């Protein structure tokens, strides 16, 4: 996995997922966000880092659409950087919170990799910021 920073879009897997989201028809985008979040929420065994980073990107998009959390990364979907939107409902907000909680828990390769790198405080702070923007759902 190529990771260049701690932001929600700052790795190869998230950037690729964002490209797919950008390329999807607008009416299909909420389903793609939901799918990325549900994969992580439904994972009862070891959570793969690639699945986690897609869910982080999805959760950041949910937070941006619900709370106005700014997205400025050039690796985010272009349509969002250009002022586009994704239709977000309350179910997606709750799902995003659950996905972030799951990847911060046990058996998370994403968390283990950040702990091994010594940069977990910075990465965790990003997750906490997204979760805070989502509210206490």
What is the per-residue pLDDT across 17-70, written as a single tens digit (0 to 9) for each?
A: 999 999 999 999 999 999 999 999 999 999 999 999 999 999 999 999 999 889
User: How far is residue 101's CA from residue 48's CA, in Å, rounded to a whole number?
Assistant: 15
In 3-state terms, what secondary structure has residue 77?
A: coil
pLDDT for position 119: 87
Report CA 108 to chain centroid distance, whole Å: 14
Specify the pLDDT at position 57. 98
What confidence score (pLDDT) does residue 136 get? 53
124, burial (CB in 10 Å: exposed 0-12, middle 13-18, buried 19+)? middle
Non-local (6+) Cβ contacts of 1 within 8 A are 11, 12, 13, 49, 50, 53, 113
pTM over 0.75: yes
Burial 33-48 (b: 16+ CB within 10 A, else e): bbebbebbbebeeebb
The answer to whether residues 63 and 130 touch, using CB atoms and an 8 Å cutoff, is yes
Percent of the chain with pLDDT over 70: 98
Domain coordinates of the chain in residue numbers? 12-134
């Amino acid at each position: 996995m190529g990771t260049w920073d701690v932001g929600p879009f700052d790795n190869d897997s998230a950037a690729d997922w964002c490209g797919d989201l950008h390329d999807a028809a607008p009416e299909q985008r909420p389903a793609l966000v939901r799918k990325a979040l549900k994969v992580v929420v439904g994972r009862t065994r070891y959570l793969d880092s690639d699945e986690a980073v897609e869910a982080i990107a999805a959760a950041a998009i949910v937070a941006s659409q619900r709370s106005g959390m700014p997205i400025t990364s050039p690796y985010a979907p272009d349509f969002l950087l250009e002022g586009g939107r994704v239709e977000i409902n309350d179910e997606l907000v709750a799902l995003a919170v659950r996905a972030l909680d799951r990847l911060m828990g046990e058996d998370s390769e994403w968390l283990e990799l950040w702990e091994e790198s010594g940069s977990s405080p910075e990465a965790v702070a990003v997750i906490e910021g997204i979760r805070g923007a989502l509210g206490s759902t």
